[in-house]
Amino acid sequence: MVAHILKLKLRLLANGFKRSVGQLVGVIIGGVYALGLIVMLTLAAWFTAGESAIAGEVSIIVASLVVLGWAVIPPLLTGVDLTLEPSRFVHFGIPQKALGPALVLSGFISVPAILTIVGLIGGSLTFRYDPLALVVGIVAAIITAVMAVLVCQYLTIMATALRAKRRFREFTFAVLFLILVCLGPIISSIAMAASSLVDLVVPIANVLAYTPLGAAAALPGAIAAGNYVQFGICLVLTVIYLAGLYWLVSRATAKATVTPPPEQQAAKQSGLGFFKYAPSNPAGAVGARALTYWFKDPRYAIGVLMVPVLPLIFWFVGNQSGNYTMMFLLGPFIGILLGFSISADISYDNTAFALHVLTGVSGRADRAGRALACLTLSIIPVLAAAILPGAISGEVWRIPGDIGMSLAALLVALGVASVASARYTYAVPLPGDNPMKTPPGNGMRVALTQLATFTTMGVLLIPVIIPYLIAWFQESQGLSFLTLGIGLVLGIGLFLGGLVLGGKWYENRAPELMQAVMLNK
């Protein structure tokens, strides 16, 4: 039975690659990149062997980070490949004794798990001058990898149970996203505060060595240092942690196989919401629908979250360099990012887009509705971001220019995105999926499309950028007003032009767009 399930997992892995050439290429590129990292790590371990006094401590920290990564990233952010989730086996009367080990072992049949094992073993080469420590190190590397996979499986099962509730899912993602964005500045502040990194490594490692994260990884270091007491303690702890985790995983697995999926609390909304206020025409209806989605669909929330997060990041950068010039660029940046965020609109619709095709809604109405919904939401934050920096710094002369530049950025971005999204769709998280989950293997295509879209926006904005910069350098109020004028004319012109051209492309290609979203590509 164990062999059957392992074979199933292998087959699933192989079939996943077979699905499309593009995905295979993506996986290969990602794999080569990861292998490169592993080779670098191995080489670093090889050449620093015997030279670093804190090699043992460093390997504890590296191992702990790996386990922590496995514990946090798959269950909460990217989502795990749930094809072998225990609850899928509810209908098969597989004895618990066989299913537990089988599912645990199948966790190792995945590209990341294999890379983790290889990488950790490579890292243990840092003990190559001490044969005993090297052997212990290799064993410890494998144990660490097992620990990582076990922790990941346990937390995944737990998270799946919780995530089945939609509200919880949407809430955690928002919190996590904020933490993630702020992580960089937070870490950099902590790092700046510590006078020397080396001072931190030893105390942190000493604590980690007694936790499930680093207990196994502490073994080779203890042997190499001749610290047999620590070796003994960590060995006992490793065995306890490993056995405990295995027990937890198999118990959770057992429970998951007999627990039916939880009942969902249905969400309610009385009345028609935005539909009540939108104009009674197709464009108004599309706008109302898009607005509803901006508020109800977490995939759109990423775009909205940029609004409070971007000023925070810019302020942080300013705080560290002592130069707050960047804050003046907030308006254009927020404008262009919010405008850009509708470029995946049809991809986000997925096959619900069929309703637009079947009703024969005109391309112009479809484009206008989506763009106007985004414009309605964006206009106030963009204006605030354009006006506030100048007002706070007391440089009132520049405010008209900032407004002109920001509005032009927003409107041009909306126009370009309206054209681009009628032509280029790409794989996005499906409706109801984890919004952070990127479908594998299409990174290149997405990156190219987005690069081309942003470049087009930048080029089209040049007529506004030039007077904007001159006004800035000369601190001229007159030129600042000129920027406002040019910005409004160019912005509105290209916005409307984008709607017309996008509408035309949309009508020519509606069936092709439909086929593309059916395959989510």
For binding to another protein (CB under 8 A), which residues are involved?
166, 264, 266-273, 275, 280-282, 284-286, 288-289, 292-293, 296-297, 349-352, 354-362, 431-432, 507, 510-512, 514-515, 518
Cα–Cα distance measured from residue 72 to residue 19, given in angstroms and rounded to the nearest whole number: 28
Report in angstroms how near the CB of residue 505 gets to another protein at its nearest.
15
Pick the closer one to another protein by CB: 102 or 428: 428
Report in angstroms how near the CB of residue 370 gets to another protein at its nearest.
13
Report in angstroms how near the CB of residue 512 gets to another protein at its nearest.
7
Q: Which token pair is 344?
A: 């995946």
Report in angstroms how near the CB of residue 243 gets to another protein at its nearest.
42
Q: Which token pair is 107?
A: 């966790």
* 491 Cβ neighbours under 8 A, 6+ residues apart: 407, 408, 409, 410, 411, 412, 464
* Angular region, 202: left φ>0, alpha ψ -120 to 50, beta rest: alpha
Task: Calculate the CA 362 to chain-centre distance.
Answer: 34
Pick the closer one to another protein by CB: 95 or 511: 511
Report in angstroms how near the CB of residue 85 gets to another protein at its nearest.
21
Pick the closer one to another protein by CB: 189 or 362: 362
Report in angstroms how near the CB of residue 12 gets to another protein at its nearest.
23
Report in angstroms how near the CB of residue 510 gets to another protein at its nearest.
8
Pick the closer one to another protein by CB: 109 or 174: 174
Pick the closer one to another protein by CB: 275 or 316: 275
Cα–Cα distance measured from residue 308 to residue 178, given in angstroms and rounded to the nearest whole number: 10
Pick the closer one to another protein by CB: 113 or 368: 368
Pick the closer one to another protein by CB: 437 or 509: 509
Cα–Cα distance measured from residue 31 to residue 189, given in angstroms and rounded to the nearest whole number: 33
Pick the closer one to another protein by CB: 276 or 394: 276
- CB count within 10 Å of CB 262 equals 10
Pick the closer one to another protein by CB: 9 or 289: 289
Are residues 517 and 353 in contact, defined by beta-carbon separation less than 8 angstroms?
yes
Report in angstroms how near the CB of residue 124 gets to another protein at its nearest.
49
Pick the closer one to another protein by CB: 81 or 297: 297
- CB count within 10 Å of CB 464 equals 28
Are residues 287 and 373 in contact, defined by beta-carbon separation less than 8 angstroms?
yes
Q: Which residue reads 């009345």 in tokens? A: 271
Pick the closer one to another protein by CB: 195 or 269: 269
Report in angstroms how near the CB of residue 519 gets to another protein at its nearest.
11
Report in angstroms how near the CB of residue 288 gets to another protein at its nearest.
8
Q: Is 447 exposed, middle or buried (0-12, 13-18, 19+ CB in 10 A)?
A: exposed
Pick the closer one to another protein by CB: 193 or 267: 267
* Nearest residue to 438 (alpha-carbon basis) of 38, 37, 27: 27
Pick the closer one to another protein by CB: 64 or 421: 421
Report in angstroms how near the CB of residue 293 gets to another protein at its nearest.
6
Pick the closer one to another protein by CB: 14 or 267: 267
Helices (H), 83-227: 96-106, 111-123, 131-163, 166-193, 197-208, 218-224
* 389 Cβ neighbours under 8 A, 6+ residues apart: 327, 328, 330, 331, 402
Are residues 199 and 55 in contact, defined by beta-carbon separation less than 8 angstroms?
no
Report in angstroms how near the CB of residue 269 gets to another protein at its nearest.
5
Q: Which token pair is 398?
A: 């520049």
Q: Which residue reads 């106030």 in tokens? A: 380
Q: Which residue reads 């109800």 in tokens? A: 296
Q: Which token pair is 426?
A: 């790409």
Q: Is 2 exposed, middle or buried (0-12, 13-18, 19+ CB in 10 A)?
A: middle
Angle at 391 between CA 388 and CA 395, to 5 degrees: 130
Q: Which token pair is 248?
A: 């937890």
Cα–Cα distance measured from residue 198 to residue 295, given in angstroms and rounded to the nearest whole number: 46
* 60 Cβ neighbours under 8 A, 6+ residues apart: 205, 208, 209, 214, 217, 218, 221
For CA atoms 175, 180, 185, 187, give the dihedral sign.
Answer: positive
